[in-house]
């Protein structure tokens, strides 16, 4: 593509003389600008990809993939049997979810109460793996499991008893009184998802029906799939089986969140790409000045028989080499920073006493990162294209240069 003469001219252009120090500064800034742009873009995309994947995995593991709730009529045995027969690989279990308030030691905390069948509910496999205190085997009637953040805020440990009050009222001679029961803490889990660890408690299914004054007619069905990402597909099929029930998937509960996350990632890509574009303008400026300073040499090259295309290619190669080396350096730095992003965050936080990634805002207790080769490839190619365009237009000016005028006063 480039012959020996073109590479030689480009190599000499990349090493400006002492009197051309300004060109050297522009070249350095062009290199640093593109390198930093690519590096930051890879880091941000890796963190946002990791953030999305980590949240998706935790949400899928913690929540049922599809929920069927009674609407105009209760879920009957015929529907359950039909569901089990049609989808033999599905994990199906009864459940009931309601809102409650924990009362203990003059503390009160609103929570989401999930009543589950501890022998059949597949979601509890995820919780069982995340138990950090107590034993899952102790989860039985009159006991509950809470998140570690909730345990810390209430200052309780395994074995402590607390009062759980539901949103259901019963009539008494003194008026309406909310139902409440005492429970013992059987275990504490740490899902790594701050929102869950702070606001969700698990109790037995029969305890939940008693606490909320419900019957088996009020139970919902929780369905877990082998392929959670196909939840919306199966949701539509289940809706067609019986339109009397309200069916929703884990994706429905988090649709706006993931849409906002995707939009934010795309906007960040566009904004950060501007860094590379701005740096590319430095290449245009540098090549323009270089060509202006090399007018006499270019004219001599033409006089000696070097074609216009060869001269254009040699100056194009000058700018393209800067962009290529900067892009490669940016990819290497970006991948290294992305790989060690959590260690870097911890170092900065501990050194400067800064909370860079607060768990209560970002839902996760660690800064996630997912290095996606496809994303890195797109960023690299995009950077190379911008650099190529930035190098081509100044080099193209050479074709309009008049040899006679360039050598007139030499």
Identify whether residues 142 and 45 lie together within a single domain: no
Q: Which domain holds residue 11?
A: 4-57+257-407
Q: Is 364 within the bounds of a domain?
A: yes
C-beta of residue 30 within 8 angstroms of C-beta of residue 185: no
Number of folded domains in the chain? 2
Identify whether residues 148 and 28 lie together within a single domain: no
C-beta of residue 202 within 8 angstroms of C-beta of residue 188: no
Identify whether residues 300 and 205 lie together within a single domain: no
Q: Is 251 within the bounds of a domain?
A: no
Name the pLDDT band for 258 (thresholds 50, 70, 90).
confident
Q: Is 367 within the bounds of a domain?
A: yes
What is the mean predicted confidence (pLDDT) over 18-39? 78
Q: Which residue, 183, 199, 224, sits at the end of a domain? A: 224
pLDDT of residue 121: 55
Q: Which of 108-122, 127-141, 181-195 has the lowest mean pLDDT?
A: 108-122
Residue whose C-alpha is closest to residue 162's, from 108, 205, 220, 207: 108
Q: Is 166 within the bounds of a domain?
A: yes
Identify whether residues 170 and 219 lie together within a single domain: yes
Whether residue 344 is predicted with pLDDT greater than 70 in this model: the reply is: yes
pLDDT of residue 122: 57
Name the pLDDT band for 9 (thresholds 50, 70, 90).
confident
- Which helix (H) or strand (E) segment holds residue 362: the answer is helix 359-362
pLDDT of residue 357: 65
Q: Per-residue pLDDT tens for 92-107?
A: 888 888 899 998 877 8
C-beta of residue 292 within 8 angstroms of C-beta of residue 400: no
Whether residue 409 is predicted with pLDDT greater than 60 in this model: the reply is: no
Mean pLDDT of the chain: 82
Q: Which of 200-204, 212-216, 299-303, 402-406 has the lowest mean pLDDT?
A: 402-406
Whether residue 408 is predicted with pLDDT greater than 60 in this model: the reply is: no
Cα-flanking dihedrals φ and ψ of residue 136, to 5°?
-65, -30
Q: Which residue, 172, 204, 224, sits at the end of a domain? A: 224
What is the mean predicted confidence (pLDDT) over 253-260? 77
What is the mean predicted confidence (pLDDT) over 271-292? 81
Residue of higher predicted confidence among 349 and 141: 141
Identify whether residues 195 and 113 lie together within a single domain: yes
Q: CA-CA distance, 26 to 30, in Å (whole number)?
A: 6
Whether residue 11 is predicted with pLDDT greater than 60 in this model: the reply is: yes
Identify whether residues 261 and 403 lie together within a single domain: yes
Q: CA-CA distance, 341 to 42, in Å (whole number)?
A: 12
CB atoms within 10 A of CB 36: 18
Identify whether residues 51 and 107 lie together within a single domain: no
Whether residue 74 is predicted with pLDDT greater than 80 in this model: the reply is: yes
Q: Is 235 within the bounds of a domain?
A: no
pTM score:
0.70
Q: Which of 150-159, 372-381, 395-404 has the lowest mean pLDDT?
A: 395-404
Strand partners, 94: 221
pLDDT of residue 191: 81
Name the pLDDT band for 410 (thresholds 50, 70, 90).
low
Name the pLDDT band for 16 (thresholds 50, 70, 90).
low
Whether residue 283 is predicted with pLDDT greater than 60 in this model: the reply is: yes
Q: Which residue, 224, 247, 281, sits at the end of a domain? A: 224
Identify whether residues 203 and 142 lie together within a single domain: yes
pLDDT of residue 329: 94
Identify whether residues 48 and 121 lie together within a single domain: no
pLDDT of residue 146: 92
Q: Is 83 within the bounds of a domain?
A: no
Q: Which two tokens stand for residue 375?
A: 């994303």
Identify whether residues 204 and 122 lie together within a single domain: yes
What is the mean predicted confidence (pLDDT) over 244-262? 81
Q: Is 165 within the bounds of a domain?
A: yes
Give 330's Cβ-side CA count (13 Å radius). 33
Identify whether residues 13 and 106 lie together within a single domain: no
Fill in the DSSP letter of residue 200: E
Q: Is 200 within the bounds of a domain?
A: yes
Name the pLDDT band for 334 (thresholds 50, 70, 90).
very high
Whether residue 170 is predicted with pLDDT greater than 80 in this model: the reply is: no
pLDDT of residue 375: 87
Identify whether residues 172 and 288 lie together within a single domain: no
What is the mean predicted confidence (pLDDT) over 346-359? 74
């Amino acid at each position: 593509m480039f012959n020996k003469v073109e590479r030689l001219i480009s190599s000499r252009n990349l090493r400006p003389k002492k009197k051309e120090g300004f060109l050297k500064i522009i070249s350095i800034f062009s290199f640093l600008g593109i390198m930093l742009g690519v590096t930051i873009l890879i880091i941000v995309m890796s963190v946002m990809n990791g953030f999305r994947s980590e949240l998706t995995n935790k949400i899928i593991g913690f929540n049922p993939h599809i929920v069927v709730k009674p609407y105009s009529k209760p879920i009957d045995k015929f529907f359950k049997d039909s569901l089990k027969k049609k989808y033999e690989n599905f994990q199906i279990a009864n459940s009931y979810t309601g809102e409650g308030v924990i009362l203990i030691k003059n503390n009160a905390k609103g929570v989401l109460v999930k009543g589950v069948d501890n022998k059949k509910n597949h979601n509890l496999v995820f919780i069982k793996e995340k138990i950090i205190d107590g034993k899952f085997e102790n989860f039985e009637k009159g006991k509950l499991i809470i998140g570690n953040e909730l345990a810390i805020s209430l200052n309780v440990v395994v074995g402590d008893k607390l009062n759980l009050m539901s949103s259901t009222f019963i009539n008494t001679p003194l008026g309406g009184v909310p139902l409440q029961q005492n429970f013992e803490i059987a275990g504490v889990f740490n899902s790594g998802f701050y929102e869950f660890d702070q606001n969700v408690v698990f109790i037995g299914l029969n305890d939940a029906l008693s606490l909320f004054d419900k019957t088996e007619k009020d139970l919902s069905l929780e369905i877990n799939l082998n392929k959670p990402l196909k939840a919306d597909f199966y949701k539509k099929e289940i809706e067609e089986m019986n339109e009397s029930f309200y069916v929703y998937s884990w994706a429905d509960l988090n649709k706006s969140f993931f849409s906002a996350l995707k939009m934010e990632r795309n906007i960040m890509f566009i904004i950060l790409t501007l860094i590379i574009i701005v740096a590319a303008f430095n290449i245009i400026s540098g090549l323009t000045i270089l060509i202006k300073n090399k007018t006499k040499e270019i004219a001599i090259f033409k006089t000696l028989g070097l074609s216009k295309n060869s001269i254009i290619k040699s100056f194009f190669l000058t700018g393209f080499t800067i962009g290529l080396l900067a892009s490669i350096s940016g990819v290497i730095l970006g991948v290294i920073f992305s790989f060690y992003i959590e260690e870097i965050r911890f170092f900065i936080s501990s050194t400067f006493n800064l909370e860079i990634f607060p768990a209560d805002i970002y839902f996760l207790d660690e800064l996630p990162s997912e290095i996606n080769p496809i994303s890195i490839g797109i960023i690299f190619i995009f950077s190379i294209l911008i650099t190529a365009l930035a190098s081509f237009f100044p080099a193209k000016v050479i074709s309009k240069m008049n040899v006679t005028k360039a050598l007139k006063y030499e």
